[in-house]
Chain A
């Protein structure tokens, strides 16, 4: 019911949205929850387990009960808290977890069976017959479980991530937060003030109080205006800080037209997150209309909404009286049910003392309640029952670094342990200072402390005047009466579950939580955990301090995956690296494939070719018979310079590199320190002192880091410097019998012997020429600065075509190397040694990385899987990579395993399949016929073991 003259909503901008199809009238400034209450809607959802009717319980982010689905399609958000969703024109809000309708939910039958569905019942049943679990029981449980439903279409891609830095982050803009921000802001500190609501002020907007002679809301507005005028203060409304991380980093979720996930780094932080009211366990305390007393006040003052027409207030604190008082003053009928003997008199309303609510009725919302009190027993009509069991500091962030809060006997609540998170200080109600004066004073003090820690001075300023009544809180958790008393409203955990948990020896608070699911729902038990552990303490007779508490973990409020994963949809997940000639590859129709972060052309289809194999075979033949060009720019290139370059390379390569002459290239092998192969590639010593280390595409980054490690950590005395030039040079391989003719057509390039290199120029640009071959043909790699890369590529392709040649892609590259038995990371898979790969002879007797460990007995065992070549006995036989190898007559079982195929493909040159394999004792088994089994692809082939090089074993073709 909307009340005139109350609330901070904008009555000049009416709007409407729908709830389950029904039109709901609202004003700008409303939440969905306040508008529903204003329209008399109390039933908004169903609980998780028993499908009990659920209403609105709080007016903040701690809401356990009023979960709804907002929107439809891409923007559909299940399990949104109606208390946090701002009412907006045309918004579509739907209830969830009910069928066929919210009012008539057949699953509510579960409630009738509650004696059988107590805590942990599922651990004790559904075991027989065994096959029924996956086929019957579990699918039924899964269908029943869950609350809201995802739309089934990809989420909108409109979220963002942002980063910010400040000196002081103030979390929460209630009295303590505003005062802290004012204190620090006026002193010139760089402050961020974040608050989860659209309007800053916190409880000041929800109470009938005065601050400095102004209404609390007006004072808050002035404070916010002043803060907004300070250039060194940034205000972040609608922003919930979600987690305290290491080093002063905080995550924060900013809501708006779309979500932004912030990473805020600060030197100091003040936790001014206020307090969260707790409920009381009594029979029937879960009906819609049962609400927290502070929330009822909040709806009155913040939104001008009376949560009911006849309101009973049940509590044991003076604070609860305020709800009855404020409602009465607003013309709403209210009665105070005070649990205390010495309850104060009502300020215009009736007070029952020593009151206990012993039951409620009402199908879809509370209608009547029964109460015993000092004067006897009574039945009352009420459409709203406001409950207050006292307040708990919202100290969650102080637990994010494993700190445990401390039980404060006087306040009957947990309070934060100081310094539980370095640099974070709690202030105001978050610290247990529950009066407005206490909050203002605490905020100012925390602000001054922060300034001192930042090395800034704080001018003295008078504190605004505000109420400073002593706050008394006593433990009042539960009413002794028969009937189920709810704790966790979302997961349907009752007092009976807590007691059963203790009865069954789940007495540790963590066991209780896990066994009953108390506090494990989306609200993390913000309104119920403390009461639950109080009941557990009672059941075990240990008292609350000895029982301890479960911890709170980030995030403080639920965070959409789309927000924390913003920007990653589709191709945004990882950067894409393209070579200089990328456009040309695509223009030729080459399918581009992933190679780490790079994309590379896999083949260049020619007219008439319909399969990749046709293109690949043609490209291979072209290289073998004419000439091919291939973009190999993605290979890692590291320049090494300095007088000790040779000595340094002797440390990182297993073979000796220092003896390499200028103008020469040598194949090199790098080991990890544990003796296994890390990477291979060529090392060129250019005339004039530069060494160029080439790595495989995949290993470029790790090898650079490894070489930096070797230089800075292991070989600190050597005078050598390194730089990665991978992106700076485009490198093109020219291979085939006509390779030299192609080079000569490009320009005046020096003649080189096999494994020679030179610095030269090409078309006026600096160029590097290497005579190396990964194809087995006469081969060159020519490098030019990347800005000339596309031109060189186009020129090289044109010249190749004029010679009957062609560009070739990764597929052909792989077949060419397979025919030669050259290695890739399919062979250097991180488990193989130089010995395994037939390169044991390269490991020189010197102190290089990995040499010592490579000589461990297990790494030079002849029975290890070692590299061999395979050819099929039947020329039409199929070979596949990943297949396992067995003796000819042995069954394909693990104990019989002899190894596996690392690489396989069709050799157009030889006219049959070829493979490389790691075979136990392989090199001693040349000539043997074994069996290849690929159960995944249903391939079985007899193959003959042989040398790894199947084409031109003497290497005459590449030496030229």
Chain B
């Protein structure tokens, strides 16, 4: 499996660490309330198909938003957060 780092290009999957969906970038305000924080921390769209995910490229320490298909594992895009 290969993933794309926005800085280094296509690399072996072993260089990357998965973190979670890209929705984690939209962090609620501290006082957003229990429901908002619950949705942020726990609930997931978990899409079957195109998925935007946060990955860490260990060798260059860059975080990336990688667009990937969860049915085929095809990578469609990669960008800095």
Residue in A closest to B34 when the chains form the complex, CB atoms = A856
Please state if A709 and B2 are interface contacts (CB–CB under 8 Å). no
Please state if A852 and B32 are interface contacts (CB–CB under 8 Å). yes
Please state if A709 and B62 are interface contacts (CB–CB under 8 Å). no
Complex Cα distance, B13 from A248, in Å, reads 12
Please state if B56 and A705 are interface contacts (CB–CB under 8 Å). yes
828-866 of chain A: CB within 8 A of chain B: 846-847, 851-853, 856
Find chain A residues with CB under 8 A from B28 CB.
Answer: 852
Please state if A847 and B30 are interface contacts (CB–CB under 8 Å). yes
Complex Cα distance, B74 from A245, in Å, reads 11
Residue in B closest to A263 when the chains form the complex, CB atoms = B12
Q: Is A72 an interface residue (CB 8 A)?
A: no
Please state if B56 and A248 are interface contacts (CB–CB under 8 Å). no
Please state if A852 and B63 are interface contacts (CB–CB under 8 Å). no
Find chain A residues with CB under 8 A from B54 CB.
Answer: 709, 713
Please state if B72 and A422 are interface contacts (CB–CB under 8 Å). yes
1/0 contact string of B26-53 vs chain A (CB within 8 Å): 0111111010010001000000000000
Complex Cα distance, B57 from A331, in Å, reads 66
Please state if B1 and A249 are interface contacts (CB–CB under 8 Å). yes
Q: Is B76 an interface residue (CB 8 A)?
A: no
Residue in B closest to A401 when the chains form the complex, CB atoms = B72
Of residues B34, B61, B75, B81, which shows the largest number of chain A Cβ atoms within 10 Å of its Cβ? B61
Residue in B closest to A672 when the chains form the complex, CB atoms = B41
Q: Within the complex, what minimum Cβ distance (angstroms) separates A861 from chain B? A: 15
Of residues A248, A714, A716, A852, which shows the largest number of chain B Cβ atoms within 10 Å of its Cβ? A852
Find chain B residues with CB under 8 A from A705 CB.
Answer: 17, 56, 58
Q: Within the complex, what minimum Cβ distance (angstroms) separates A110 from chain B? A: 44
Instruction: Pick the residue among B10, B61, B63 that contacts A713 (CB under 8 A).
Output: B63
Please state if B75 and A709 are interface contacts (CB–CB under 8 Å). no
Interface residues on B, range: 20 to 34
409-432 of chain A: CB within 8 A of chain B: 422
Please state if A712 and B80 are interface contacts (CB–CB under 8 Å). yes
Residue in A closest to B22 when the chains form the complex, CB atoms = A713
Q: Is A642 an interface residue (CB 8 A)?
A: no
Residue in A closest to B75 when the chains form the complex, CB atoms = A247
Find chain B residues with CB under 8 A from A249 CB.
Answer: 1-2, 12
Residue in B closest to A856 when the chains form the complex, CB atoms = B34
1/0 contact string of A700-741 vs chain B (CB within 8 Å): 000011001100111010000000000000000000000000
Q: Within the complex, what minimum Cβ distance (angstroms) separates A254 from chain B? A: 19
Please state if B81 and A247 are interface contacts (CB–CB under 8 Å). no
1/0 contact string of B1-26 vs chain A (CB within 8 Å): 11100000010110001010000110
Q: Within the complex, what minimum Cβ distance (angstroms) separates B9 from chain A? A: 12
Q: Is A510 an interface residue (CB 8 A)?
A: no
Main secondary structure of the interface of B (DSSP, over half): mixed
A247-B2 contact in complex given A401-B72, A852-B37, A853-B37, C-beta closer than 8 Å: yes
Find chain A residues with CB under 8 A from B1 CB.
Answer: 245-247, 249
Q: Is A218 an interface residue (CB 8 A)?
A: no
Complex Cα distance, B2 from A246, in Å, reads 7
Interface residues on A, range: 20 to 34
Q: Is A644 an interface residue (CB 8 A)?
A: no
Complex Cα distance, B27 from A246, in Å, reads 32
Complex Cα distance, B24 from A902, in Å, reads 33
Q: Within the complex, what minimum Cβ distance (angstroms) separates B36 from chain A? A: 9
Instruction: Pick the residue among A245, A674, A714, A856 that contacts B27 (CB under 8 A).
Output: A714
1/0 contact string of A224-263 vs chain B (CB within 8 Å): 0000000000000000000001111100000000000000
Q: Within the complex, what minimum Cβ distance (angstroms) separates A675 from chain B? A: 9
Residue in B closest to A673 when the chains form the complex, CB atoms = B41
Please state if B37 and A713 are interface contacts (CB–CB under 8 Å). no
Q: Is A265 an interface residue (CB 8 A)?
A: yes
Complex Cα distance, B30 from A847, in Å, reads 6
Complex Cα distance, B12 from A48, in Å, reads 40
Complex Cα distance, B74 from A189, in Å, reads 24
Please state if B19 and A709 are interface contacts (CB–CB under 8 Å). yes
Find chain A residues with CB under 8 A from B31 CB.
Answer: 852
Find chain A residues with CB under 8 A from B29 CB.
Answer: 847
Complex Cα distance, B25 from A754, in Å, reads 39
Instruction: Pick the residue among A248, A712, A847, A856 that contacts B63 (CB under 8 A).
Output: A712
Q: Within the complex, what minimum Cβ distance (angstroms) separates B72 from chain A? A: 7
Please state if B25 and A851 are interface contacts (CB–CB under 8 Å). no
Complex Cα distance, B73 from A681, in Å, reads 39
Residue in B closest to A709 when the chains form the complex, CB atoms = B63
Complex Cα distance, B70 from A246, in Å, reads 12
Complex Cα distance, B59 from A537, in Å, reads 53
Find chain B residues with CB under 8 A from A712 CB.
Answer: 62-63, 80-81
Residue in A closest to B40 when the chains form the complex, CB atoms = A673
Find chain B residues with CB under 8 A from A709 CB.
Answer: 19, 54, 56, 63
Please state if B25 and A713 are interface contacts (CB–CB under 8 Å). yes
Complex Cα distance, B71 from A792, in Å, reads 56
1/0 contact string of A393-416 vs chain B (CB within 8 Å): 000000001000000000000000
Instruction: Pick the residue among A247, A401, A708, A852 that contacts B10 (CB under 8 A).
Output: A247
Please state if A708 and B2 are interface contacts (CB–CB under 8 Å). no
Complex Cα distance, B64 from A709, in Å, reads 10
Residue in A closest to B33 when the chains form the complex, CB atoms = A852
Complex Cα distance, B24 from A852, in Å, reads 15
Residue in B closest to A708 when the chains form the complex, CB atoms = B61
Find chain A residues with CB under 8 A from B73 CB.
Answer: 246-247
Please state if A708 and B37 are interface contacts (CB–CB under 8 Å). no
Find chain A residues with CB under 8 A from B74 CB.
Answer: 246, 422
Find chain A residues with CB under 8 A from B24 CB.
Answer: 713
1/0 contact string of A264-279 vs chain B (CB within 8 Å): 0100000000000000
A248-B41 contact in complex given A709-B63, A856-B34, C-beta closer than 8 Å: no
CB-defined A-B contacts under 8 Å, sample of 5? A246-B13, A249-B2, A713-B54, A713-B63, A846-B30
Which residues of A approach B to under 8 Å, CB–CB? 245-249, 265, 401, 422, 673-674, 704-705, 708-709, 712-714, 716, 846-847, 851-853, 856
Which residues of B approach A to under 8 Å, CB–CB? 1-3, 10, 12-13, 17, 19, 24-25, 27-32, 34, 37, 41, 54, 56, 58, 61-63, 72-75, 80-81
Task: Beyond the given A265-B2, A709-B19, A851-B30, please list 9 additional residue pairs across the A-B interface where CB-CB is below 8 A.
Answer: A246-B1, A247-B1, A247-B3, A708-B61, A709-B56, A709-B63, A714-B25, A846-B30, A856-B34
